[in-house]
Amino acid sequence: MAVNDDLADALTRHQIYLQRYGSATVRKILALLKRSDAQILERLLREDLSALSRTRQERLLTEMRRSFESAYTDATGALQLDLEALATYEGEYQLDLFRRVLPVKLETVAPSADQLLAAVNSRPFQGKLLKEVYTELSASAFRKVRDKIRAGIVEGRTTDQVVRDIRGRRSMGFRDGILASNRRATETVVRTAINHTANTAREYTYERNGNLIKGVRWNSTLDGRTSAVCRARDGKVYEPGKGPRPPAHFNCRSSTSPVTKSWRELGFDIDELPPATRASMNGQVPADQDYDTWLRKQPKAFQEEVLGPTRAKLFRKGLKMERFVDRKGSTLTIEELKRQERDLWEKAT
């Protein structure tokens, strides 16, 4: 029905704004960590690592651990406040979208802010809850610095040499240091947490409005950076509360859109309308076109850039995108593809 296409179009635009929101949030969170990083380096520079006793080494590392824990507690606390506001907004946005797109007024259920927040905080992504992801992020950031300090002491390196490894080289814009690596890991968590929050709040709203929603469609970004699992799931429709949901992995950009019941299922004597279109990087593509269909229309060179030469050959011979991953969404190796798709493999080679 045309309503579903209108919803998908609106949510595609909405996803772009969410990614921009993610970029702004990343800048804010990293600014907090950069201030803390400067303080940690200043503290480290006050020590002569080559002359530290065992007791003073452990005292220094304890101070470092507490500094990292405090910094990441502040950063993730600020992030959590933003996520709580986002969850509430996302639930309101979904219901407002229904009101704007549906040509008739239908009864909807508005989840409370507490319900949305509970759903976001209790639903895992990548097998972990948000609070567990935050804890591991802080622990990993400290562990990398701790190990570099310990190694430097054992190797007899100077404090300046160890600090350079931690901070990075000026000639590289300090992008090669441990602290820069920690910030990149934090950026990944922030972007993934935002996608998790938006999609979870969206999903919970759909579940609460089961009288209107009969399915949830997976929408993947149509470009060359789309992961194998997201390419395979693009366009697939799952029952509310069942099946996989974005984020499928860290830095996942996929989203969802609702599939409403037909007018007749809702009790209205209205015929279905022609399908509309949704945007891709190359312009307008049919609303029922998934990543597989879209990629088949792209140049051979682009197919090979996305899939690799061997998989691209299998793809052009007719292997569907969903066959490149296993049931868990992991990309199959070439050897596994050989075993599972022997006939197509022989044609491709």
| 129: confidence class by pLDDT, cuts 50, 70, 90 | very high
Confidence band of 225 (pLDDT split at 50, 70, 90): confident
Chain-centroid distance of CA 337 in Å reads: 27
Query: What is the length of the chain?
Result: 349
- Give the pLDDT mean for 20-48: 92
In the prediction, which pLDDT does 282 show? 38
Residue type for 111, please?
Answer: P
Residue 231, both tokens = 């390419």
- Cβ–Cβ under 8 Å, residues 314 and 344: yes
Q: Can you tell me the mean pLDDT for 290-303?
A: 78
The per-residue pLDDT for 2 is: 67
Cβ-contact 321, 304 below 8 angstroms: no
The DSSP code sequence of 74-104 is HHHHHHHHHHHHHHHHHHHHHHHHHHHH-SS
Across the chain, mean pLDDT equals 84
| pLDDT: which is higher, 297 or 284 | 297
Dihedral sign, CA of 14, 16, 17, 18? positive
At 281 the pLDDT is: 33
Give backbone dihedrals phi and psi of 243, rounded to 5 degrees, phi first: 85, 175
pLDDT of residue 221 exceeding 80? no
Residue for token pair 């140049």: 299
Own/partner contacts of 13-18, CB < 8 Å, gap of 24 or more, are 14/93, 15/219, 15/253, 15/255, 18/194, 18/195, 18/198, 18/255
If you average pLDDT over residues 275-289, what whole number do you get? 44
Q: What's the pLDDT band for 272 if we cut at 50, 70, 90? A: low
Whether the predicted pLDDT of 215 surpasses 60: yes
pLDDT tens sequence across 97-122: 888 887 777 888 899 999 999 999 99
Report the pLDDT averaged over residues 157-186: 93
Two structure tokens written together for 214: 């009969």
Q: What residue ranges do the domains of the chain occupy? A: 2-238, 299-349
* pLDDT over 80 at 340, yes or no: no
Residue 274 has pLDDT above 60, yes or no: no
Q: What pLDDT is stored for residue 271 in this prediction? A: 59
Q: What is the mean pLDDT of residues 159-172?
A: 93
What is the distance between the alpha carbons of residues 31 and 37, in angstroms, rounded to a whole number? 10
